[in-house]
Structure 1
Amino acid sequence: MAMCESEVAEKCVTQQGITLNVRAVIAFKVGNDTESIIAAAQRFLSEQDQMSVLTGRIFAGHLRSIIGSMTVEEIIRERQKLATEVLDGSKEEMARIGLTVDALQIQSIDDDGLGYIDAMSAPHNAAIQQQAQIAQAKANQAAAEAEQESQRKQAEFARQTAVVKAQYKAEIDKAQAEAAQAGPLAEAQAQREVLEMRTELAQRAAELRQQELVAEVVKPAEAEAERVRILAVADAEKMKIQAEAAASHNRVALDRMLIDQLPVIVEKAARGLAGRI
């Protein structure tokens, strides 16, 4: 069977005496069983549009009855419970006219501007607003911290970049200075080596000249002095022998003594001269 709808807009008074405007939509149809079809046909065959009207009246009555046993707080917090109780309460009456209900949806509930529902939800709304403000404050703080961290990282990166650039510049300047000094330093080193070689050659020449002077002047002079000394010693020895011979008035003995001593004197003189050369 085709599905039908019925809308209900009813003023209902709660257990606390507060009037509420309740709007609901009911989805219903004729039952599939023979008994339901016969019951619906007997009642609505000539006036099918009355099915929605009668269904609305039935549900309006059950809404008023059930809402009258509930508080506003229960109705607002437990809307599904309200719908279930209305459905359960209307099933038997709907079945008697051959109709079955598929669903009941409570669309809206208000207190017609009284402010009770708004006041009831105010703490919740305030808590929600507070949570939203706290969340916004935390988000703002997190954004500020992120911005500060980003700025700090940028500053640190800039500092490190400046340090690296300074190091590169110092290395480049050092390399350029070393390159600029390399030529003069190499030339100075070469000049120093030449000077050292010339000094060494001069020292060697001086040593050789000293050796030559020793060979040419000192050694001959020493040899001549030794020769003179030896001859003087020989002459003194000769005079001594002559004196001794004269003293004895023996000319033959004197001559003989000279002849005998002459080889010894000459040998001594020769040995001394050979040792000095």
Structure 2
Amino acid sequence: MFGYRVPAPDEAMLISGGKRGLGGAPFRVVMGHGKFVLPIFRKTRFLTLAMCESEVTETCVTRQGISLHVRAVIAFKVGNDTESVINAGQRFLSDQDQMSVLTGRIFAGHLRSIIGSMTVEEIVTERQKLAAEVLDTSKVEMAKIGLIVDSLQIQSIDDGDTGYIEAMSAPHKAAIQRQAQIAQAQATQASVEAQQVAARNQAEYARQTAIVKAEYSAEVDRAQAQAAQAGPLAQAHAQQEVLAAQTELAQRAAKLRQQQLVAEIVKPAEAEAERIRVLAIADAERMKIQAEAAASHDRVALDRMLIDQLPLIVKEAAGGLAGANVNVLNGADGLGEIAAGLVAQGLTILDSVRQNLNGQNPDGSPEKARGLLELQGYSRAPGKDTDEADEDEGERDEGPGAPR
């Protein structure tokens, strides 16, 4: 619209020609909005509110009398309040570049003043303190001209050809160099150790690789040897299995033959032996029975013979009494007693003969019993004479088994 003016965001619009501004200022300040300005009757000017920069290079003398070349950069701008805009507008509106020049001069003076109260060591080591003191001392002056300082940076401090700063830094440089050398030595040592470790690792890797290769080669050789022996081994295993089968077959055949031999020879032989044993046992029993029967028969015959010989024995005993002078005192009783004594004597002789036969001749044969009777003096049987007895003895000697 014709006559309506709007300032930029980083500008302040100054309108003159009408009512006075704040504090009797010859213009009114408009910031952040537009305003209708009558042409011809009002005049409009714009003051920048943007950031400005001023560089200061100044030679300053320290408290020790050492000259230092100081280079600093100041960042400043016009204040955002109306008073600061009025102060700056009245001073710099016609030539706004003068703000940088005047600001540099102001800070150069404050730098000389502050550095003159400090030592080189303080200036070098405490630059932030120097910048803070310069800002504090210049703040009032900068506010009077409507400017505010955002930052002050000390870019460089140089003592020229005096070499003071260099000498001051020599111990630090030596310490730093020493530390650097130590660090370098440590780095070198670490590098050497790392190289040694790497060499050992490489050697170990080479050794392990060689071992692996050797094991692999041995495994390959073993596999090849096994492959080469696979045919003969398989054949040998097959032959072994054949021999085992043949052996088993032979054992089965031998076992079958053994069973056949047992069935054909052993069992019949055992049966025959059992038959012979049974027959032998039966024959022995028969012979035993026959022997017992014969012995019983001989004893009966012996007893009978002894009974038959008893009268002869009594007769012989009585004959012994024939020439004896015997007096019988009690008559018939006495004769009875004598006869009874003779009979008892015969029975005693008979018992003696029987006992001798039982002890010395278990078979109890009549021939032996007759020999015992002869020993007792009773060798003749009743009713036979001496010649008949001799003939009987001769016949007995002529019998089977008699000596020739």
TM-score, length of structure 1 as denominator length: 0.62
Q: Using CA pairs under 8 Å that are at least 6 residues apart, name the structure with larger relative contact order, 1 or 2.
A: 1
Unaligned runs of at least 5 residues, structure 2: 1-48, 266-393
Q: Return the letter of the residue paired with 1:14.
A: T
Per-residue CA distance 1:214-253 (angstroms, 9 max, x = gap): xxxxxxxxxxxxxxxxxxxxxxxxxxxxxxxxx75999xx
1:148 to 181, 190, 199: 199
Residue aligned with 1:53, SS = helix
Unaligned runs of at least 5 residues, structure 1: 213-246, 259-277
Residue aligned with 2:65, SS = coil
CA distance in 1, matches of 2:114, 2:225: 95
Residue aligned with 1:109, SS = strand
Deviation at 1:168, TM superposition (A): 4.7
Task: Give the structure 2 partner of residue 160 of structure 1.
Answer: 212
Give the superposed CA RMSD: 3.9
**1:262-273 alignment, distance < 5 Å:** none
Deviation at 1:21, TM superposition (A): 1.3
Inter-CA distance 124–104: structure 2 relative to 1 (3 Å threshold): farther
Say if 2:90 is the partner of 1:42: yes
Deviation at 1:187, TM superposition (A): 3.5
Per-residue CA distance 1:69-98 (angstroms, 9 max, x = gap): 222222222211111111111101211222
How many percent identity over aligned positions? Answer: 53
**1:239-254 alignment, distance < 5 Å:** 248=395
Say if 2:70 is the partner of 1:70: no
Deviation at 1:150, TM superposition (A): 3.1
1:173 to 225, 228, 231: 225
Say if 2:142 is the partner of 1:90: no
Number of residue pairs aligned between Structure 1 and Structure 2: 218
1:103 to 104, 127, 151: 151
Moved more, 193-202 or 15-24: 193-202
Q: Return the letter of the residue paired with 1:48.
A: Q
Task: Give the structure 1 partner of residue 66 of structure 2.
Answer: 18
CA distance in 1, matches of 2:161, 2:187: 32
CA distance in 2, matches of 1:75, 1:66: 10
Inter-CA distance 94–108: structure 2 relative to 1 (3 Å threshold): same
Q: Return the letter of the residue paired with 2:225.
A: D
Deviation at 1:190, TM superposition (A): 4.7
Task: Give the structure 2 partner of residue 28 of structure 1.
Answer: 76
Q: Return the letter of the residue paired with 1:177.
A: Q
Task: Give the structure 2 partner of residue 130 of structure 1.
Answer: 181
Per-residue CA distance 1:112-135 (angstroms, 9 max, x = gap): 243333331513541452354145
Task: Give the structure 1 partner of residue 323 of structure 2.
Answer: none
Q: Return the letter of the residue paired with 2:104.
A: G
Inter-CA distance 39–178: structure 2 relative to 1 (3 Å threshold): closer
Inter-CA distance 135–82: structure 2 relative to 1 (3 Å threshold): farther
TM-score, length of structure 2 as denominator length: 0.45
Per-residue CA distance 1:4-33 (angstroms, 9 max, x = gap): 111100111222222221111111122233
Task: Give the structure 1 partner of residue 21 of structure 2.
Answer: none
Deviation at 1:63, TM superposition (A): 0.9
**1:187-198 alignment, distance < 5 Å:** 187=239, 190=242
CA distance in 2, matches of 1:168, 1:94: 93
CA distance in 2, matches of 1:92, 1:200: 132
Deviation at 1:164, TM superposition (A): 4.2
Task: Give the structure 2 partner of residue 228 of structure 1.
Answer: none
CA distance in 1, matches of 2:164, 2:186: 29
